[in-house]
Amino acid sequence: MKKIIGYIFLFVFANSSIHAQLNDSTAEAKKMQWWKDAKFGMFIHWGVYSALAGTYEGKKIPGIGEWIMNTAKIPIDKYKPYAKLFNPVKYNPEAWVKMARNAGVKYIVITSKHHDGFALFDSKVTDWDIVDASPYGKDLLKPLVAACRKEGIRIGFYYSQAQDWNHPGGAAINGHWDKAQDGDMDAYLDNIAVPQVREILSNYGNIDILWWDTPKDMTKERAEKFMPILKQHPNLITNNRLGGGFQGDTETPEQFVPSTGFPGRNWETCMTMNDTWGYKSYDSNWKSSKTLIRNLTEIVSKGGNFLLNVGPTAEGEIPKASITRLAAMGKWLNVNKEAIYGTTASPFPYLSYGRCTRKGRKLYLHVFDYPANGLLGVPMANKIREAYLLADPTKRLLVTINKANQHSVIHLPKKIPDTINTVVAVEFEGDLKIIPSPMESVEAVVSSENDASEGAKNLTDGNRLTRWTAAKTDRNASATVDFKKQVAISSLIVDEPWNPWENKRQKITLQYKSGETWKTITTTTTKGIGDQKNFKPVTAEFFRLLIENKEEAPSLLEWQMYGPE
Ligand code: FHN
């Protein structure tokens, strides 16, 4: 399974980096504004696979639940009868949407059709849909859309355009396993996918988001088949997974937060609450509410959105564990909403105690780790007018100046209200003048480069869409920076060009030069998505990274380092 998903991502990311440009046109900016302000969405993966709930013929099938047909190689005639067990009689879309709204969710994206090809809507071009194949017999999207509109929640449809394991000609990652799947992909696109996309975009009023996925075998010509419909919906937001080189409006890191965000691109991390998108009865590896609240904060502080998944049962119930976690997020957001919605990314890529978000002349410091001395340093040259806890805006906090570096220092109360994330609002004067990261002014010297387009300059340029790669045959490489003066460093961030499923590993060691000797500060073995390591400040002029990759030439998108505030 890891290999499968890795393949998908290789494809998506390769495409998005080739075609990445800034989303800078005014019309585009206007279209994206609600989405950029919204920050928090709920993904719903729901379909016939929910009825199998991770088990086929008495065997627990490994991997993500919605892939069970592919993973267990279930033939079409054995899979289709499960539609009879997909009978969501407890489905209560009003309650789902109210629950989401109370959790602080601003948009919902539901799988109108996943890779098993089953439509949750009344499709006229197939019988493989909720109305014709399930005892439930009613369109599932219509009442959800209505409930969303009533509660002021935006609505999006996920649509698996390429993979379809139940209509002949539909693509399948790892190939077809049943002769009945064979056919002409162009005919499948013309007769199923394109008409269905027309259906979902025409029959439910204005839809806000169309979420493509897994562009297996999607050439430019195939992707173009969808263009006439998309052109009729200029306000529709689409992601970067259509294929054929179409970049769409959003980048879609999956199951991880990119270490340095995607400056200049709109992006959304989609993530599961346990280890599956579609319901699996025995997956109880739930992330804690603390992790989810901090993930939301982390993502927003880097300029992205969080699309958090729930996988309802075949009866139409959202698992209790998901509801509890969403409620905890709602409780936190209720106090701290001002620091999330409508904010922009942190001007400080690193703060030792937490994260930051911004609204004009207001900063929101998200305190994850209470500093031992109770003091929050703010690495900017502006005067602070006032600082207070969002949980208690009536009490002003003392602000002093650190004589050594002129940073403002906020004095926290001895006890803060929330150990997960206490937000301190800071109003400052004038245009923001941040103390630049020392890496902004240096270029690394590397042991080798693959070619000029993947050269050393890409390492420290602050742009994770460009990369440095060592010479093809190298498996060990180094990158060194000379700050030309003594600089204190307490955080290392590296970004990598892969994804969590590709099983790419690099051993990365950060060292500093002490006299003629290199001394190690920290070592990490990454998982293809980079890492952040914080440590006690080390002051030196020369720092270097040693990068070991046993499989291929070492590569990094970004190397950033920060000092204590
Ligand atoms: O294969 C799918 C998977 O089932 C799930 O829908 C995720 C959600 O982003 N997308 C694909 C894997 O990237």
What integer best gives the mean pLDDT of the chain?
A: 94
Per this entry, what is the length of the chain? Answer: 565
Cβ neighbours of residue 435 closer than 8 Å, sequence gap 6 or more: 379, 380, 381, 405, 407
What distance in angstroms lies between residue 213's CA and the mean position of ligand 1's atoms? 7
- Whole-number pLDDT of residue 315: 98
Give the long-range contacts of residues 444-450, CB within 8 A, separation 24 or more. Answer: 444/468, 444/479, 444/480, 444/481, 444/559, 445/479, 445/480, 445/481, 445/482, 446/470, 446/477, 446/478, 446/479, 446/480, 447/474, 447/476, 447/477, 447/478, 447/479, 448/474, 448/477, 450/553
Task: Select from 52, 66, 173, 213 the residue to mutate for testing ligand 1; criterion: most ligand atoms less than 8 Å from CB.
Answer: 213
Rg (CA), the chain: 25
Is the C-beta atom of 254 inside 6 A of ligand 1? Answer: yes
Alpha helices in 461-553, H assignment, sequence order: none
CA distance linking residue 328 with residue 332, whole number of Å? 6
What distance in angstroms lies between residue 45's CA and the mean position of ligand 1's atoms? 9
Residue 112 is encoded by which pair of tokens? 């109108």
Is the confidence at residue 15, as pLDDT, over 50? no
At residue 128 the predicted structure's pLDDT band, cuts being 50, 70 and 90, is very high
DSSP tag of 443? -
Residue 542 is encoded by which pair of tokens? 């020369």
Is the confidence at residue 303, as pLDDT, over 90? yes
Alpha helices in 20-162, H assignment, sequence order: 26-38, 49-52, 68-71, 76-79, 93-102, 130-133, 141-151
Is the confidence at residue 38, as pLDDT, over 70? yes
Residue 276 is encoded by which pair of tokens? 């599956």
Is the confidence at residue 205, as pLDDT, over 60? yes
Helix (H, G, I), strand (E, B) or coil at 71: helix
The pLDDT tens digits of the residues spanning 273-290 come to: 999 999 999 999 999 999
Of 249-258, 350-359, 429-438, 504-513, the poorest mean pLDDT is in 429-438
Axis crossing angle, helix 320-336 with helix 93-102, rounded to the nearest 10: 40
Is the confidence at residue 406, as pLDDT, over 90? no
Is the C-beta atom of 66 inside 6 A of ligand 1? Answer: yes
- Whole-number pLDDT of residue 224: 98
- C-alpha distances in Å from residue 264, one per residue of 160, 376, 388, 495: 27, 29, 31, 16
The pLDDT tens digits of the residues spanning 376-392 come to: 999 999 999 999 999 99
- C-alpha distances in Å from residue 343, one per residue of 43, 302, 359, 360, 393: 22, 10, 5, 8, 19
Residue 421 is encoded by which pair of tokens? 């994330």
Under a CB-based contact definition with an 8 Å cutoff, are residues 89 and 136 in contact?
yes
- Whole-number pLDDT of residue 465: 86
What distance in angstroms lies between residue 287's CA and the mean position of ligand 1's atoms? 18
Axis crossing angle, helix 141-151 with helix 93-102, rounded to the nearest 10: 40
Mean pLDDT, residues 425-432: 97
- Whole-number pLDDT of residue 405: 79
- Which bin fits 460, alpha (ψ -120 to 50), beta or left (φ > 0)? alpha
Ligand 1 atom closest to residue 277's alpha carbon, by position in its atom list: 5
Ligand 1 atom closest to residue 45's alpha carbon, by position in its atom list: 6
Of 98-107, 260-269, 287-296, 435-444, the poorest mean pLDDT is in 435-444
At residue 13 the predicted structure's pLDDT band, cuts being 50, 70 and 90, is very low
At residue 501 the predicted structure's pLDDT band, cuts being 50, 70 and 90, is confident
Helix (H, G, I), strand (E, B) or coil at 507: strand
Is the C-beta atom of 449 inside 6 A of ligand 1? Answer: no
Q: How close are the terminal C-alpha atoms of the chain, in Å? A: 43
| High-pLDDT (> 90) share of the chain, % | 88
- Whole-number pLDDT of residue 132: 98
Is the C-beta atom of 268 inside 6 A of ligand 1? Answer: no
DSSP tag of 458? G
- Whole-number pLDDT of residue 23: 46
